[in-house]
Structure 1
């Protein structure tokens, strides 16, 4: 018993709840490496494959790794802030990948993305400017995220992790670009069809 007549065990439990162990905070990072199934994993890796290598070329290998992990952690924090009472486990790399997409938007404003667009019963493959593709994606995430704040069901998607990760990635890229910490892109033109040209940016590598 303490001076107020409260059992010591109760006090210890209160302190444990008030100050979670380090392992709890570590889950903000470890959740990035977990997925809900192969479809979830492959979908995330597809987006990372499309946008990740170009951002890595601009930042460098080590800086890109740190950038990716940092975006993932802050994306987890954004989800936690937006859903403080949620008891549903959050897993997936989409918050970190959203950060990569945000950086891509800033670093490659004139790039194009080969996109699959469903039109009624048909699927059309078209080339879209990267700002259009990423802008539409972000707006959809934001609309879904704001809707989830007033809905009891969020649909099993951590919308605010996507929003937070994207915003953090864009902001970090903006800061690095302003300080000259990103490598300049080299433009390589690759013919795509008779009427369109896909631009792929990369940094020259010395062998």
Structure 2
């Protein structure tokens, strides 16, 4: 008896599987990763890059001390060229970063911060920068309990330039697009203050 070859019958499910594999093979490079990244970024509360900047700041804090600075800056804050200034792009909202910095500093045993704000912030009108009124309220809430001082923006930039010549300054750049909204944390020793320093100098003088 002569053997008869019959055409192979492929189940519909198998055909679909083969087609899917082929589509992936010929997809433009990076397509799968792009969709995966988009899915991660769309999770509620997720901020791209937030974990990275927080880890960097936490790693740096033990080495920071008196005369170091941390700046939470708006999106257009300038890249400074002083050797000690390091800029980290957070991809996060500015008020959220301020809250995190306040929280992290509050947990440190060795440093505290003198918080300084742009004096111009109080004078920016809502019609020139829509959203600035709400921002001021949110910032007040984020800095509740902190002693703050207001200085002209150019004076603060000058102080950072001078500090960056000899000391480390960390600039955390955010996505905020409102003017004069940077928050400057000038670090100081938590276990020493101006009154005790004055008393010490008086004792040394006597």
**TM-score per shorter chain, which class?**
under 0.3
Q: Which has the larger radius of gyration?
A: 2
Scaled by the length of structure 1, the TM-score of the pair is: 0.23
Higher percent of residues as helix: 1
Scaled by the length of structure 2, the TM-score of the pair is: 0.23
Q: Which structure has more RCO (C-alpha within 8 Å, separation ≥ 6)?
A: 2
